[in-house]
Amino acid sequence: MYPILITCPLELPRILAAEVEALGLPIVAMHKAGVETQGTFEDCMRLNLWLRTAHRVLLRLHEWKATSPDAMYAGVKSVEWERWIDPDGYVSVVSSVKTPSIDNSLFANVKCKDAVVDRIRDKTGRRPDSGSSNDYAVLYLYWHADVAMIYVDTSGTSLSDRGYRLNPHKAPMRESLAAAVILSMQWEPGTVFVNPMCGSGTLGIEAALLGINRAPGLTRTNFGFMHVQPYDPKVFDAMVKEARSKERKSRSPFVLCSDNDRRAIEATRENAKAAGVLHLIETGVCDFTETPIPPAPGAIVLNPEYGLRLGNVSALIDVYADIGDFFKQKCKGYWAYIFTGNLELVKHVGLAAKKRMVFYSADLECRLFEYEIYDGSRRPPKAVEAP
């Protein structure tokens, strides 16, 4: 059993924690951008395969006090790296360093790498290559104040990179953020998911993956854990086989993506095909107000321009007002959502939000606004006074 740190974007630990617990692992601690659990190396493989809102799964091998570069080097070298890193392989080091002991994190990375390869050379007579690529074995050094920890990054590249987004179009939403948005919605797999203004289709694709319970890691071909000594391909192949057996079969589309830009729809279809869910998604080129809305129940979500990078704020006032009218006129019986980084523009929607959920897109604070669009009046009947 090892301590395992799982990182994620800000404001997502509560969602990530629910995912980890659903996989049968305990939550030991919560952080601003991650959660801690405990498990085996095999658990790390399973976490990488199934987690939708995580970025990295880090397995901790050692924690110690380091008040100097030499102390950091000694702590790293004390780990039995010959059990983890192939002496004929490749290793890279990334880090988070905030200590008065040094003023250059790149120096810490090199010192850490030296400790690893020196240990392997001393024990085996050979040493692995090293560099900046994260396509092979990746180690993560945490050194804040005098606390040092060394991890194996079992993910390698971020888990938000599913491997299916071949065409990013423009300003795409990160896959982990899209999954978190969907998991925060009042949407049930098996019901309709509508995404006007779909861009490159990330929200629709993540909804399709969730709808059939497909493990998000199945679209990737490479993880960090595949390049360390404990990795057994047969064990992971069995996990993949089990994951595929848990998929819900669906031949009918239940996701509808639309955009007024034909290039966006082309990107959505290309990415959905790469993710293996194109048959579950209907697409259309039209203004969002012309998006055909299937009968309720269902959920609809829009991620309009914020006016911060892509558009002009004054020109977007009418767009947000039109979204509110669209919800009221065409989306009755639906749960409706707007994801935006502009809290002033959303005031022009003209609807009272039931919830306002905080998210971060990179460093930009955003909100997911939730609206229940009633089918008919929900007001109680007027009381009649007794004669």
41-80 per-position pLDDT tens digit: 999 999 999 999 999 999 999 999 999 999 999 999 999 9
Within a domain: 35: yes
pLDDT of 148 reads 98
Q: State the pTM of this model.
A: 0.92
The answer to whether position 379 is within a domain reads no
pLDDT of residue 311: 52
Are 67 and 135 in the same domain?
A: yes
pLDDT at 129 over 50: yes
Assign 107 a pLDDT band (cuts: 50, 70, 90): very high
Burial of 361 (0-12, 13-18, 19+ CB in 10 A): middle
129 & 24 share domain: yes
**How many structural domains compose the chain?**
2
Q: Is residue 232 part of a domain?
A: no
7 and 103 share a domain?
yes
Long-range contacts of range 82-85, CB-CB < 8 Å, 24 or more positions apart?
82/119, 82/120, 82/123, 82/124, 83/229, 83/230, 84/137, 84/152, 84/228, 84/229, 84/230, 85/116, 85/120, 85/128, 85/137, 85/228, 85/229
Residue 135 lies in a domain: yes
Cα gap 87→91, rounded to integer Å: 10
Higher pLDDT, 384 or 233: 233
Residue 378 pLDDT class (50, 70, 90 cuts) = very low
Tell me: do 10 and 139 sit in the same domain: yes
Q: Give the per-residue pLDDT at 105.
A: 85
CA 315 from chain centre, in angstroms, equals: 31
Task: Give the tens place of pLDDT for each residue, 261-308.
Answer: 999 999 999 999 999 999 999 999 999 999 999 999 999 999 999 886
Instruction: Give the E-state strand segments of the chain in sequence order.
Output: 2-7, 29-31, 34-39, 56-65, 90-98, 129-130, 137-144, 147-153, 192-195, 255-259, 281-285, 298-302, 335-340, 355-361, 364-372
Report the distance separating Cα 353 and Cα 338, nearest Å: 10
Q: What pLDDT band is residue 337 in, cutting at 50, 70 and 90?
A: very high
pLDDT, tens only, 183-193: 999 999 989 99
pLDDT attached to residue 379: 42
Nearest partner of 187 among 54, 282, 297, judged by Cα: 297
In a domain, 168, yes or no: no
Residues 76 and 185 in one domain: no
Q: Is residue 96 part of a domain?
A: yes
- Mean pLDDT of all residues belonging to the chain: 93
Predicted confidence band at 171 (pLDDT cuts at 50, 70, 90)?
confident
Residues 258 and 368 in one domain: yes
Based on the fold, state whether residues 123 and 267 are members of the same structural domain: no
DSSP state of 159: T
> What is the structure's pLDDT at 252?
85
Average pLDDT over residues 206-215: 97
Same domain, 80 and 135: yes
Residue numbers of the domain that contains 191? 175-215+247-372
Over residues 79-98, the pLDDT tens digits come to 999 999 999 999 999 999 99
Q: What is the CATH number of the domain that holds 323?
A: 3.40.50.150
**What per-residue confidence (pLDDT) applies to 381?**
37
Shared-domain flag, residues 113 and 198: no
Measure the CA angle with vertex 226, ends 223 and 228; round to 5°: 125
Is residue 250 very low, low, confident or very high in pLDDT (cuts 50, 70, 90)?
confident
Contact (CB, 8 A) for 35 and 20: yes
- Per-residue pLDDT at 103: 85
| Residue among 186, 224, 177 nearest 205 (CA) | 177
Pair (64, 194) in one structural domain: no
Examine the domain organization and report whether 21 and 149 are in the same domain: yes
For residue 50, the domain's CATH number is 3.30.2130.30
387 within a domain of the structure (yes/no): no
Q: Three-state DSSP class for 346?
A: helix
Higher pLDDT, 110 or 168: 110
Is residue 308 included in any domain, yes or no?
yes
Whether residue 179 sits in one domain with residue 148: no
Confidence of residue 309 (pLDDT cuts 50, 70, 90): low
The pLDDT tens digits of the residues spanning 345-368 come to 999 999 999 999 999 998 899 999
Q: For 222-232, what is the mean pLDDT?
A: 98
Task: Report the share of the chain in percent with pLDDT over 90.
Answer: 89
Instruction: Note the pLDDT of residue 118.
Output: 97
Residue 377 pLDDT exceeds 50: no
What would the two tokens of residue 188 be? 């049930």
